[in-house]
Amino acid sequence: MTGRHSGLTLLLIAIVGFLTICPVIMLVFGSLSEGLTATGTFTLAKYIAAYTDPALLEVIWNTVIFVGGAASTATALALFLAYLNIRTDIPFKFIFGIISIIPMMIPHLLFSVSWVLLLNPSNGILNLILRQVFSLHHAPFNIYSLPGMVLVEGLLDLPIAYLIIAPAMASFDASLEESSRVCGASTGKTIFRITLPVLRPAILAAFILCIIRGLASFAVPSVIGMPGRIYVLATHLYQMVSTGFAADYGKAAALGMSVLLAAIILIYLYRYLTSASDRFVTIAGRGYKPTIIKLQRSRIPLFLILGFLSFILIILPVVVLFYTSLVPYSMVPSMRAFSMMGLKHWIEVLNDPISLLSLKNSLFLGVFGATIGIVLSIFVAYVIVKVRSRSAGVLESLSFLSFSFPGIVIGVGFMWFFVRTPLYATIWALLIGYIATYLPYGVRPLSSAFVQIHDHLEESSLVAGASYLTTLRRIVIPLLVPGIVSGWVLMATMFVRELSLSVVLSRPGTEVLAVQILRFSEDGLWGKLSALGIMMIGVSTLLVLLVNFIGRKFRPVDR
């Protein structure tokens, strides 16, 4: 059995290694070679060009502000929300559950667009309303600014930070705080001297993950930053590779190496922190009883803040998109606007061959890509959790690596690779790139599913006289179903909305939804964009519902 497993492990290391290391190697080669390919003669010219670019300093400065600001915003908001949910008697706690799953529902690209629709200086709906109400000459807000980018990215990263901080807060031993109170510290002082320091590993982990996401983020910088001429590293790189005939992949790769390196260092720092946080787990004895803080007078104001946050996170983007897809051009909601509503944009989109093609491609990539990805994830997770050999550890590190990959950077690596194969400019190139980049999204839920299948469960089935295959069918697979479902849903929704890798790899004929939406946004075709965006949300939601339905049929016990 061990022999077969080591064979399987090596095979998986080969596959995953190929998927994750290949583009990195191509990047290294490409950045060091002359010309447009990755195999030209050796030169350092690309590095020199990339790092002596006078524009770089400002780009780096913008990136630091953007990424740091967004990560701080997201972490602070997540802390605040987690504290409210877990430690206070705030009403309607189900809202927190919704906030933590919305990133699966509303793609970053559309979320950014909806903020542009609301707050752009020329015809943002909110700006128009405020101008009317206060008879202003200028729009009061300009989303095309660094603060605007920080705000939107911060809101986008909030759920992921919340998902890290909330469990840590929930397992916090309340007597640590109580003893601080007995020792003479007020509630506020206790929060700063005990609660926050004890939660520090979780807070740092959330912050670092947000930084990684911010570095890789392309939706906000392209939709909000570029129109305002605010370039961060992601859009700076995008400019190098997308400007038609003057594309300079080598220079992009040379600069991208630093981004990639930073992201990889951060992701391992993150992993170290999340594993080291065990150090801070204190014995929760029998006396453990988390005290719920009665908010009293601040209950209603705090709830209003929460309500406002969930409104702008969940409801507003969808409503704005819907509205924009129905009115002929940007206008303040009014009787006139409602009377002019129609399906013009929807009909145009449904008659636009490229939009239809992108819909078809994305649906294919979502369904087929996620299926292949999840099969690979099952094997990888199995080896990581159950085999636990040294090579399984290598596999784990490898499969975790792509979590840090900024799509734009790794996309260039993939492009160089695919150019040398017949796959270039086919949908398969996208499919492979997607699976490589999003493998951790499938491996993680499946690893936790495998952790729950204790060895004894399998062994007792074997002892009970079932064959190995029967054991797999009757015991292992049914217990895996929840993990398979959530992994598949995560991958499929990621694939349907994928943007940053696709903008590099997509070619005429292989358009996908997000790229098409970005084109509409660059051309200011907001109505068409919104119609296509709603379709995109519809496709994702449909896939989620469908798979949950199928998964329920396969549940071992009906619940």
Partner 1 sequence: MEIRIAGLRKHYASEGRIIKALDDVDLTIPSNQIFTLLGPSGCGKTTLLRSIVGLESPDAGEIRIGDEIVYSSARHISVPTEKRGLGMVFQTYAIWPHMNVYDNVAYPLQNRKVPKEEIRRRVAETLAFVQLEGFENRPATKLSGGQQQRVALARALVAQPRVILFDEPLSNLDAKLREETRKELKTFLYDLQITAVYVTHDRVEALALSDTIAVMRAGRIIEIGSPKKIYFDAESEFVADFIGRANLVKAVVREQLSGTTIVDSAIGRLACRKGNFSPDSHVTLCLRPEFISLTRGDHPGTNVVQGTIASMVFVGDAFEGEIRVGDQHLLARIEPETDLAVGDEVGFQVSPDHCLLVAG
* Residue 38 or 194 having the CB closest to partner 1: 194
Instruction: Please tell me the number of Cα atoms within 13 Å of 96 on its side-chain side.
Output: 23
Contact flag: residue 288 with partner 1 (CB under 8 A): yes
Q: Report the nearest approach of partner 1 to the CB of residue 86 (Å).
A: 18
> Closest CB to partner 1 among 174 and 367?
174
Work out which of 194, 252, 395, 492 binds partner 1, going by CB under 8 A: 194
273 in contact with partner 1 (CB under 8 A): no
Residue 491 corresponds to which tokens in the numbers above?
A: 């991958």
Q: Which is nearer to partner 1, 130 or 191 (CB)?
A: 191
Q: Does 284 bind partner 1 (CB under 8 A)?
A: yes
Give phi and psi for 218, each to the nearest 5. -120, -30
Residue 200 engages partner 1 in binding (rule: CB under 8 A): yes
Residue 296 interacts with partner 1 (CB under 8 A): yes or no: no
How far lies 483's CA from each of 161, 351, 372, 531, in Å? 22, 39, 15, 33
Identify which of residues 200 and 552 has a Cβ nearer to partner 1 in the complex: 200
Q: Per CB under 8 A, which region of 220-228, 287-295, 416-424, 483-491 contacts partner 1?
A: 287-295
Residue 193 or 271 having the CB closest to partner 1 = 193
Least separation in angstroms between CB 301 and partner 1:
22
Closer to partner 1 by CB, 123 or 175: give it: 175
3-state SS, one letter per residue, for 303-343: HHHHHHHHHHHHHHHHHHHHHHHHCCCCCCCCHHHHHCCCC
For position 181 contacting partner 1 by CB under 8 A, the verdict is yes
- The stretch near partner 1 (CB under 8 A) out of 180-188, 248-256, 395-403, 457-465 is 180-188
Are 370 and 495 a contacting pair, CB within 8 Å? yes
Among 11, 89, 132, 189, the residue binding partner 1 under the rule CB under 8 A is 189
Confirm or reject binding of residue 188 to partner 1 (CB under 8 A).
no
Q: Is 202 in the site for partner 1 (CB under 8 A)?
A: no
Closer residue to partner 1, CB minimum distance, 197 or 509? 197
Q: Is 121 helix (H, G, I), strand (E, B) or coil?
A: coil
Residue 456 in the binding site for partner 1 (CB under 8 A): no
Q: How far is residue 396 CA from its own chain's centroid?
A: 20
Q: Rule CB under 8 A: which of 158-177 touch partner 1? A: 173, 175-176
CA proximity to 383, closest of 18, 4, 5, 14: 5
Is residue 92 near partner 1 by the rule CB under 8 A?
no
Q: Where are the alpha helices (DSSP H) in 88-217?
A: 94-101, 108-119, 125-134, 146-170, 174-182, 187-190, 196-198, 200-216
In whole angstroms, how close is the CB of 73 to partner 1 at the nearest point? 25
Using CB under 8 A as the binding rule, whether residue 282 contacts partner 1 is answered as yes
Is residue 295 near partner 1 by the rule CB under 8 A? no
Nearest to 510 by CA among 352, 348, 359, 406: 359
State yes or no: residue 280 binds partner 1 (CB under 8 A): yes
Q: Which amino acid is at 21?
A: I
Q: How far is CA 432 from CA 33, 55, 218, 493, in A?
A: 25, 34, 20, 16
DSSP secondary structure, 342-368, as one string = -SHHHHHHHT-HHHHHHHHHHHHIIII
Residues 11, 55, 101, 183: which binds partner 1 (CB under 8 A)? 183
Tell which residue, 122, 112, 324, has the closest CA to residue 224.
112
Task: Tell me: does residue 182 bind partner 1 (CB under 8 A).
Answer: yes
Minimum CB separation of residue 298 from partner 1 in Å reads 16
Q: Using alpha carbons, select from 388, 164, 409 the residue that is nearest to residue 263.
A: 409
Residues in contact with partner 1 by the rule CB under 8 A: 173, 175-176, 178-186, 189, 193-194, 197-198, 200, 279-280, 282-288, 291
